[in-house]
Chain A
Amino acid sequence: MEALISLLIGVLTAGGVYLCLRSHTFPVVLGLTLLSYAVNLFLFMMGRLVIGKPPIISESATGYADPVPQALVLTAIVISFAMTAFIIVLALKARTEMGNDHVDGKGVN
């Protein structure tokens, strides 16, 4: 399972990096979304893979997953939403002001 998850994170990273290097705004936003998936998963996995032991205290529980990375990632998800929203609106603004959707505001790629 560990190898599979590592592969998954790797693929998400590779896709994110490639799309971030495109020269139009929308693919870059998609790339950032993929990258933030990868980063959130990676941070989350710092608590190692634990199945069926949510960190909710109960008498019958046999153990708990690490709550610290979870709390960290929970806010990270919300903040990356805010970041994505900010960037896409910035892209809209740039498109209006520059007349094109190139990341550097150039007319051609």
Chain B
Amino acid sequence: MVIASQEQFNDFAQGLREPGWFLDHRKAALARMLAAQIPDFRQGLLSGISFPEKFELSDITPENGRHDSTVAIEYDKSSGVSIFSSSEVSQAMPAESAALFKAFLTEDWMHDADALAWHQQAFANDALFIRIPKDCAVSKPILITYSCGAKPLLASIFVLAEKGSSAKLIMIKKSAVQKVKKSGEGGRKINEGDDHNYSGNQSYVSEDLRVFAVGDNEIEVTAVQALDDSSVIVQRRTSWQGKQAAVKWDDVCIGGAFCRSEVISILAEKGSSTKSVSSFIVGERKRFMLSNSALHKSQFTVSSLLTRGALAQESKVFSKGLIRIDPEASGSEGFQKQDALLLGKGAEAAAMPNLEIMNDDVKCGHGVSISDIDDGRMAYLMSRGLDERAAAQLIVEGFLLPAIELITDISLRSLLFSAVRAAVARTGRG
């Protein structure tokens, strides 16, 4: 089985008005996609994780290059940051920016790419190009909100952080039905789609975010995925980091029937570092696959990866971590930790924290813990007057604190807290 055919691509490409070099990139990606295997998501585990039963892979290919999602962007225009939308990226981009943009299209970004990752490259139907100029410190976060419709959305976001720049990016993905509730938001709208009542059919959302931190940067990315419970989500974030560039990832997954979220930090030059926190709260029969990788390619690079979350009901989460230290990367340090709280009787957590170390002058470690809420802690809190549900809620919130404290936005925090409440309520406590 293949995800999409050459014919589908021909139809798709007809409606595009893009420069030739970008179409060439799509064609090359299509060829790779056709040759690649469909991931089976089993990862050698006893009980694999699969795409939702009724979801057809053939449904993930957009027609005519269009989607019905809304993208809202808020940022301080006086900060020097420039943002180009899909149409601008393809048509009106200055030659200089186009040259920079091409740097995002090499295969260096495609670590461990499978058919879905190549599919995103070939069929992307929404793109944003964010340029943070040299030595620019952006104080107000750049906020991007996707209100996703029923049609497949394959969004690419390219962030170019020039030397010495720093910025914070917040990205929220939610379903259009939630957008109706929160209408009236300001901001610049691109690709205005039809507002519609969400049909409840499973929709496909794919996202590819690339951060090119040229050097001496401090970039923070907070991404919250709170889509409708029937959505199928495939997201992939990659950073390529130059000398002394620091990138912080804060990835929160709450929604979707199936969600695959990958974070890959390529520590390409001396002294670059990454801190990546992936957190999740999951219930019902949802399936999450989270992966967190740090590829140390140069000396004195540092990575710290944490995946942490709570599972209610019959949800399943597979989390994979990789720290790879190349022979050239002496003096590097890499740590990873994967923790899961099993709240549901039928929940399943699987972890695979891999290390591949090819240099001896390193410090590396990893840890995994999987358990239920500790009875002793529950007893303590209840002896202080909390009821069972409040006590469980407090423990889960405490468990997720590393993720929660990274989120400064109040509305995002409250989203996370309500997800915790829902997860605890589903366990039948209290």
The answer to whether A and B come from one shared complex is no
* Chain A interface residues toward B at CB < 8 A: none
* Chain B interface residues toward A at CB < 8 A: none
